[in-house]
A and B are shown apart, each in its own frame.
Chain A
Amino acid sequence: MLSLSLILFVWSLYLMIFDMSFFFEFGLVMINSSSVVMTLLVDWMSMLFMSFVLFISCVVIYYSDEYMGGDLNINRFISLVVMFVFSMVLLIISPNLISILLGWDGLGLVSYCLVIYYQNVKSYNAGMLTALSNRIGDVALLMSIAWMLNYGSWSYIFYLEELKGDYYMNIITFLILLAAMTKSAQIPFSSWLPAAMAAPTPVSSLVHSSTLVTAGVYLLIRFNFSFGDSLMYFLLFISSMTMFMSGLGASFEFDLKKIIALSTLSQLGLMMSILALGGYKLAFFHLLVHALFKALLFMCAGNVIHNLFNCQDIRYMGGLVSSMPLTCVYLNICNLSLCGLPFLSGFYSKDLIVEVMSMGYLNIYVYFIFYLSIGLTVCYSFRLVYYTCVGDFNFFSLNVLSERNYVMLKGMSGLILLVIVMGSVLSWLMFFYPYVIILPFYMKVMTLFSILLGVFVGYEMSKFSLSYFNLSMAFYKTSWFLASMWNLPIISTHGINYYPVMMGSLLYKNLDQGWFEYFGAQKAYLSLVKSSKLSQIFFNNNIKLFFILLVMWLMVLMLF
C-alpha cells in the first residue's frame, strides 16, 4: 500500500506537470440510449488524493496492529478498514454518478460496520445515527441519478457547464449538494460526526482525516463548476455556520476524541466555505494537508487513550508531557499545524484561505465568522494542550504510563515528517503561480491577532476558570447549548423520531385498537354472526313452510 501510494504520488506529479488526464470507460449496459458505464478518471487530483488516502491508511493499519492487538476479531477489523479504503478509492477515481454511488454506498455501509465495531448500545445508536444521516445523502444521490436519466448519461463530468445553466438540471446540483452536506456533516446533519467517535480510534483517524467526511468535499470539488450563485451563497452560509458552531462546541467539550472530531468538523466547514467562495484548488489543498495532521492528531489521541486504559475524558489527563514526551510533541506539532503556526503545513493552506477570503468582496458577517472560527480553533487546541500535557496528572494514582508501544509510535513517526513539510511542498507543487494577495496592514494582522486572542482565551481561561468564578457554570444553559452543538444531536434524534413515533402510537391506540377494531373487524364479525343466527332461526322451520312459500311465489308469478 505504501509503495502503491508512492507510485500514485509520482504519477500525479507527472500528470500535474504535463497537465494531462486519462479517462477510462468500460461500457456495461445500454438501456434506451442511456449507457451505464464504469468510468475511471485519472488526473493529478484523483491520483494525489488516492496517494494520500493510501499512505494514511497504510500508516493507520500499521498503527492499529498494536492498538487493536488484544482484540479477538482483528482480522475482521483490518478487512473492514481495507474495504473502507477500497470504496473510498472507487469514489475518488470515478467521474460517473453510478460508479460514484458504488463507492459512496460502500463508505456508508462499512462506516456503519466500523462504528458499531464495539458492540454496545451506545455504539449501535451512534451507528444508526451515522448510517441514517448518510442515508439521506445516498437517497439524494440516487434521486440525482434518476434525474440524470433524462440527459442520457451519468458521466457528470461532461455536463458541468450545462448543470449550471439549465433550471431543471439545477435539481441535480442541489441533490449533489445535499449528499455532500450529509457526508461532510454540515449543519443540519452534523450530529453524527461526534457520535461516530464510538468507533475504534484508528478508524476515527482514517475516517475523519481523509476518507469518509472528505468524500463530500471531494464530490463538491469535482462538481464545483456547476453551482449557481444562490447555491454557492447557501453553501457558504451553511458551512460557515458549521465552522463556527463546531469551534464553539469543541471549546466546551471534555471528551478527547470528540474535541478532535469537532475540530475536523470546523475544518470541513472551512473547506466548504472556501469552496463556496470559488477556490476549489484551495479547498483541495486544505483537504490534503488537513488529512495529514488530523490523522496524526487522532493517532496521538489514540496513543494517550490506549495508555490511560481507554479513558477519554481530558479532565483526567494532565502532565503527560513528562511521561509520554514523544506523543506530546507530535500532538503539539499537529495542534499548531491545525492552528496555522507559520511554516508548519497547516499554515500554508489556512493562511491562503483566509487571505483569499479577505480579498473577496463579501459582507462583514462572513469576514468575522471566519476570523472567529480561526480564533476558536486556536482556543480549543490550546485548551486541549492545557488539559492533556500541562499540569498535574489526575488519573488513578497507580498507573503505568509509558511509551513502550513502539509499533504505534513508528506508525505515527511515519506521518510527522509529512505533517511538517507537506504543506510547503504541496503549495509549491500545486500552485504554479502564487496568489496575488493585496491587503491593508490591519487586515493582514487580523489573522495573527485572532490567533493570539485564541491562545489567550484557550489557555488562560481554562486555567483560571477552575480556581476563580466559573463563568461557564454561571451561564450553564448557554454553555450547555453551545457544547451540545446547538442542540443538533437532539434535533436529529429525538426531533425526527418523536413525532412519527408519537403519531404511530396515537394511531395505533385510537384507530387500530380503538375505533377501527370496534367498527371494522369486530363489527363486521358480530353483525355477520347476528344475521347468521337470525337466519338460522328462520331456516329451522319445517320444510313444508318452504314448500308453501314456493307455491306462493309460483301463484304470484301465475296471477300477474
Chain B
Amino acid sequence: MFLSGLIVFSMKRKHLLLMLLSLEFIVLSIYFVLFMYLGIFNNEYFFSMIFLTFSVCEGALGLSLLVSLIRTHGNDYFHSFNLLW
C-alpha cells in the first residue's frame, strides 16, 4: 500500500492535485501501519490524533500551494514547472 502510494506519487506527472491526493494516500497507509503499531504497544492511540493533525496541516498547505501555483502559472500541470533548471 505504501509502496504503491509512493509509485503513484512519483509516476503521476500530469496534475499536481493528483500528486497531493496520492500523498494523502501515502499518509493513510502510514496511518494504518501506525495504528497497527500503536495497537501492539500499550494502546497509545493519542499519537494517531497528532499524526492526523499534522497530515491535515500538510494537506492544507499543499492545497494552498496549489492555489498559489494556479495563480502564478495558470494551470497545475507538473510539467510546466521547469523554470528553475
Contacts and interface: CB of A to CB of B under 8 A. Distances in A.
B13 A551 contact: no
Given A550-B10, A551-B10, A544 B78 contact: yes
A539 B85 CA distance: 8
Given A540-B85, A544-B10, 11 more contacts: A539-B85, A544-B13, A544-B78, A547-B10, A548-B11, A550-B10, A551-B3, A551-B7, A551-B9, A554-B6, A558-B3
A399 interface: no
Contacts of B72: none
A542 interface: yes
Given A544-B10, A544-B13, A547-B10, A555 B82 contact: no
A542 B9 contact: no
Interface in A541-560: 542-544, 547-548, 550-551, 554-555, 558
Contacts of B13: 542, 544
Contacts of B78: 542, 544
Interface of A: 539-540, 542-544, 547-548, 550-551, 554-555, 558
Interface string B42-82: 00000000000000000000000000000000000011011
Interface of A is mostly: helix
Contact of A542 (B3, B7, B79): B79
A543 B80 CA distance: 11
A547 B13 CA distance: 11
Contacts of A555: 3
A548 B79 contact: no
Nearest to B8: A551
Contacts of A542: 13, 78-79, 82
A547 B9 contact: yes
Contacts of A558: 3
Contacts of A551: 3, 6-7, 9-10
A540 B9 CA distance: 20
11 contacts: A540-B85, A542-B78, A544-B11, A544-B13, A547-B9, A547-B10, A548-B11, A550-B10, A551-B10, A555-B3, A558-B3
A297 B85 CA distance: 89
A469 B10 CA distance: 109
B72 to A, nearest CB: 17
B3 to A, nearest CB: 7
A558 B6 CA distance: 13
A443 B3 CA distance: 119
Contact of A548 (B10, B82, B85): B10
Contacts of A540: 85
Contacts of A548: 10-11
Contacts of B3: 551, 555, 558
A551 B8 CA distance: 10
Contacts of A539: 85
Closest 7 CB pairs of A and B: A547-B10, A548-B10, A551-B6, A544-B13, A551-B10, A540-B85, A544-B10
A458 to B, nearest CB: 95
Contacts of B82: 542
A550 to B, nearest CB: 7
Nearest to B3: A555
Most buried by B among A540, A544, A548, A554: A544
A543 B13 CA distance: 10
Contacts of B7: 551
B26 to A, nearest CB: 11
Nearest to A540: B85
Contacts of B6: 551, 554
Contacts of A547: 9-10
Most buried by A among B10, B82, B85: B10
A543 B85 CA distance: 10
Nearest to B78: A544
Contacts of B79: 542
Nearest to B6: A551
A558 B3 CA distance: 10
A535 to B, nearest CB: 13
Nearest to A543: B81
A550 B3 CA distance: 12
Nearest to A555: B3
Interface in B1-33: 3, 6-7, 9-11, 13
Contacts of B81: 543
A534 to B, nearest CB: 15
A324 B11 CA distance: 114
Nearest to B81: A543
Nearest to B79: A542
A543 to B, nearest CB: 8
B65 to A, nearest CB: 15
B81 to A, nearest CB: 8
Contacts of B10: 544, 547-548, 550-551
A554 B5 CA distance: 13
A199 B81 CA distance: 83
A539 B84 CA distance: 12
Nearest to B82: A542
A540 B6 CA distance: 22
A553 to B, nearest CB: 11
A21 to B, nearest CB: 91
A542 B7 CA distance: 16
B78 to A, nearest CB: 7
A387 B4 CA distance: 115
Nearest to B85: A540
Nearest to A554: B6
Contacts of B9: 547, 551
Nearest to A549: B10
Contacts of B85: 539-540
A543 B82 CA distance: 9
Contacts of A543: 81
A550 B78 CA distance: 18
